Amino acid sequence: MQKCKSFLSLCLLIVLLTACNGKKTASISDFSNQLYTPEYVSGFSIKGADGYESSIITVTNPWQGADSITTQLFIARGGESAPEGFTGQVLEVGV
């Protein structure tokens, strides 16, 4: 009987640990929801993902004469980490 209780306790502990694993890691392709559409400017976008507080700002050709240059900034909110495949800068902001 003691072995059975120990085994059940171990199973319960494993279930609790996996359930409290934290936030899942997003993929960069998840950030496809346009959060802001500028009316008078071009060259940047601000996108978010369902279920995430963070956002990605993408700037394309940031100066005159630039060709095919793109930079990205990940605005990390709520302790979220940058998505898989993200190579730009990360800015962590408080709540």
**pLDDT in the model for residue 11:** 47
Greatest extent of the chain over all pairs of C-alpha atoms, in Å: 77
What is the H or E stretch that residue 15 is in?
Answer: helix 2-19
- What does the pLDDT look like over 44-80, one tens digit per residue? 999 999 999 999 999 999 888 989 999 999 999 988 9
**pLDDT in the model for residue 31:** 93
Residue 65 or residue 14, greater confidence: 65
Amino acid at the residue 91: L
Among 79, 72, 81, 87, smallest CA distance to 25 is for 81
- What does pTM read for this prediction? 0.70
